[in-house]
Amino acid sequence: MNYQTLIKTIKAKKNFLCVGLDTDFDKIPQHLLQSEDPIFEFNKKIIDATRDYCVAYKPNTAFYESMGASGWSSLQKTVDYIGDSHFIIADAKRGDIGNTAEQYAKAFFENMHCDSVTISPYMGGDAVTPFLKYKDKFVIVLALTSNESAKDFQYFGEQNQPLYEKVIRQSSQWGDEKNIMFVVGATKPEAFKHIRSIAPNHFLLVPGVGTQGGSVADVCKYGLNENVGLLINVSRQIIFASMGEDFEIKAKEAAMKFAEEMKKIIED
């Protein structure tokens, strides 16, 4: 799904919700554990329940990698099941250079057929540019994250320019809004106005809404642009809204609630 198709999908669905598939095996409802592939079976039901109320899915690869080969198989089946109707983010947070980066790009773009992958830019442009060789694919660069210890590095810099701002300014030069997005945490809503002055047209992937305490309204106050320009991710508050046999019903209800809030914002 390319830049224009993503915008069209958001406008058609009138929401910008991304459902995070952080599928923790220990939280999968007991009645699914007897299935051949509990992780995929759980994801399949979550996708069926939420497909109409979101525009993107974000599998966090750690939850699949930790299961070994079977986890990778579950992840591939999940991506295939989502198909091309939704924007798919491989939340892998890769960040190596040279041949290694090229292989990571091949893994997620050629073999797994994801639309985007999250990247740590600490090693500079060499860690990012191999991914930009792929047409209609996105690199999502970690800029200002939602975790508490983001302050350990991301706010430091020279000449009153924090590191996260340097990251955005520098990486914007490697591509454009059609192949680069930035991660900006919902728990830092005061930063969105400044970030929009630096990157007015780029999409921002926004974690931290829901369980981590961020709010849709706070993010949208300064984060929206003329094409919406936001993918707000919600993981646990949707997929683990219930851990019982009604989990997909509760997931649907939670996704609907977020989608309705976003629709009101778009229409106002």
Catalytic positions: 93
Single-letter amino acid, residue 201: N
Q: Which residue has 């019982």 as its token pair?
A: 244
Nearest-angstrom CA–CA distance, 220 and 262 = 9
> What is the token pair recorded at 129?
């540019």
Q: Residue 115 and residue 90: Cα distance in Å, rounded?
A: 8
Distances in Å between the Cα of 174 and the Cα atoms of 178, 203, 231 are 11, 15, 21
Distances (CA, A) of 231 to 6, 38, 80, 195: 10, 28, 21, 15
Cβ contact 116:88 at 8 Å: yes
